[in-house]
Amino acid sequence: MIQIDLKLFVTLAKYLPVGSQAHEIKEGTCVNDLIRDLGIPHDIVKLIFINGKKQDGNYCIQHKDRVGMFPPVGGG
């Protein structure tokens, strides 16, 4: 198991597990796997940031990564 810092923003926040500051996942987990494991509908994740850099769902998460996900955001 590895530990990550997980942050889900706006409407995704309801999927955030308790104690996500040190969220544990299996080694070799990709972002798409994490999205599925958290029960987040895949189509509502529009932006993925790992350690402050934009990534896609195929990124393999590493120990101590900071993972942030955002839904579609509108403005005016």
Per-residue pLDDT at 19 = 61
pTM for this model (two decimals): 0.89
Per-residue pLDDT at 75 = 62
Per-residue pLDDT at 61 = 98
Report the alpha-carbon distance of residue 47 to residue 1 in Å, rounded: 25
Fold of 2-70: Ubiquitin-like (UB roll) (3.10.20)
Low-confidence ranges of the chain (pLDDT < 50): none
For the chain, the domains span 2-70
Report the alpha-carbon distance of residue 12 to residue 18 in Å, rounded: 14
